[in-house]
Amino acid sequence: MRRLLDRAVAGLARLLIGVFFREVEVVGRERIPRGVPLLLIANHVNSLIDPILVMGYVGARPRILAKSTLWRHPVVAPLLLLAGAVPVYRHQDDADVSRNHDTFARCRETLAAGGNVLLFPEGRSHNQPHQLPLKTGAARIALETEAKHGPLGLQVVPVGLTYEAKERFGSRVLVFVGEPLPVAPFVEAYRAHARGAVRDLTARMSDELQAVTVSHATWEEARLVDRAAGVIADDTVMSHRFTLRAQVLREYFALRQTAPERAASLEQAVAAYDRSLSELGIEEADLDAPRDVAAPGGRGLEALLVVPGLIGLALNWLPFRLPGWISGRLSRTPDEPATTKLIGALAFFPLFWALEATIAARLGGPLWGLALLVLAPLTGYASLRAFSRGRPWHGPRLDVHERLLAELRTQRRHLREALVSATGTPAAPTR
């Protein structure tokens, strides 16, 4: 029964994520060990979206640790029970943290029985451009389990979550599974000096998480590095963009040591190009997008979906918009909007479908009600495919003069040549 529930939860997670994000790219899933207990650790920058991503796309079917206050949420609590989640009690929630003894005991029991556990060792969801210092709880759970119940072959698996625009509907996300870290080599040191071994394993976990994410000192640095990566090469594949960003950052720091004036000049040039795009209100891809594509539909499947998509817009516009409006008013930090929108959608879409089906049944009879109950979600999906998800008709603003676009293309070409020369990255095909 637990395996069936885990498969159902994973399927539901993929459905929810697949609707919200245009693309989820998973790298390194083949690295996940089989036949041994796993402690999955991940960075935590997008609230409830983070565990949903891992449950749906990594494939390890872990028990998750979630803050205890979520068990009071009318929409989230049933999902946590379905997933077999374990509550964590935190000081900042005014909870009784002594109850974590039972929480950690359940984690050890799950791992000792050969199961998997997912936790976020930063301790909280955040909106920093860099990794927060890791709490020691993950290392303690791993070492206590292996020392008491081993040898189990317990391994720690780092998972990096990189969002293109985490709060934006129709954006992309990269799930990067890193190299597994065996716990057994730390056990002997743990038996001799527990605190030191916990500290050492926590440091290794931090290093492994750093390897599957890209950290920046400031958001300004993060934006300029991402802009430089976009200038150097096409970003159609999230994993390529991730690798390029890491290389640009590494080479930039090296250049600051060997040629600080050249590094400063490149930084100023990237900032000037970024500022030019922002002032015109366009994106990198707009420089190459066709100017005459202004209407939806495109060609192929999207064209066939226009009519059912229009029906879907009529049936689903309010439940689609309401979560965004509510998120805009309730969200206080940038790691909250996606979760608020997703939870709102879980509540509003079924409610509106049921209401619309009831009205149809009253007006036309039970068959009309049943038909609308089936058509509402199907045509809603058609709307997503036909009118959303970054379709190519979202081209450059038509009021941007072609001369300005040509000047920006020239500026980009010279900047690309300078960046390729400075960073040693391969040049992108001419665009």
User: What are the pLDDT digits (tens) for 59-98?
Assistant: 888 999 988 998 988 888 888 988 889 999 988 888 888 8
Q: What is the DSSP secondary structure assignment for residue 121, as one 8-state letter?
A: T
Q: What is the DSSP letter of 135?
A: P
Q: How far apart are the first and last CA of the chain?
A: 54
The pLDDT tens digits for 109-130 are 999 999 999 999 998 899 999 9
Q: Flag whether pLDDT at 390 surpasses 50.
A: no
Please state, in angstroms and rounded to a whole number, the distance separating the CA atoms of residues 182 and 36.
Answer: 10
Residues in contact with 151: Cβ distance below 8 Å, sequence separation at least 6, in sequence order: 184
**Average pLDDT score over residue span 31-49:** 95
The amino acid sitting at 120 is: F
Q: Is the pLDDT of residue 294 over 60?
A: no
**How far is C-alpha 167 from the geometric centre of its chain's CA atoms?**
9
Strand boundaries in 43-115, DSSP class E: 63-67, 86-88
For the segment 423-431, the average pLDDT, to the nearest whole number, is 58
- Rounded to whole angstroms, the Cα distance separating 190 from 200 reads 10
> What is the b/e burial string over 136-148, where b = at least 16 CB atoms within 10 angstroms of the residue's CB?
bbbbbbbbbbbbe
Confidence of residue 398 (pLDDT cuts 50, 70, 90): very low
Q: What gap in Å lies between CA 237 and CA 21, rounded to an integer?
A: 14
pLDDT value of residue 301: 58
Using alpha carbons, select from 132, 146, 144 the residue that is nearest to residue 209.
132
What pLDDT does residue 188 have? Answer: 95
Q: Quote the pLDDT of residue 30.
A: 94
Q: Which residues pair with 27 in a beta bridge?
A: 176
Task: For residue range 191-219, list pLDDT tens digits in order.
Answer: 999 999 999 999 999 999 999 999 999 98
Q: What would the pLDDT profile of 308-337 be if each residue is shown by its tens digit?
A: 888 998 999 999 889 889 888 888 788 888
Task: Give kind and range of the element (H or E) at residue 204.
Answer: helix 194-211
Tokens of 60: 């390890």
Rounded Cα distance, 278 and 256, in Å: 26
Q: State the chain's mean pLDDT as an integer.
A: 87
Residue whose C-alpha is closest to residue 147's, from 99, 180, 183: 183
For 26-47, b where at least 16 C-beta lie within 10 A, e where not — what string?
bbbeeebeeeebbbbbbbbbbb
Please give the pLDDT value at position 235: 62
Distance CA 368, CA 141 (A): 55
Q: According to the model, what pLDDT value does residue 22 have?
A: 86
Amino acid 430: pLDDT: 43
Domains of the chain and CATH, by start: 2-211 (3.40.1130.10), 219-291+401-423 (no CATH), 301-387 (no CATH)
- Per-residue pLDDT for 373 more than 90? yes
Asked whether the predicted pLDDT for residue 145 surpasses 90, the reply is yes
Q: How much is the pLDDT for 58?
A: 94
State the pLDDT at residue 399.
53
Element (H, E) at 325: helix 306-330
Residue 292 clears pLDDT 70, i.e. is over it: no
186 within 8 A of 200, measured Cβ to Cβ: yes
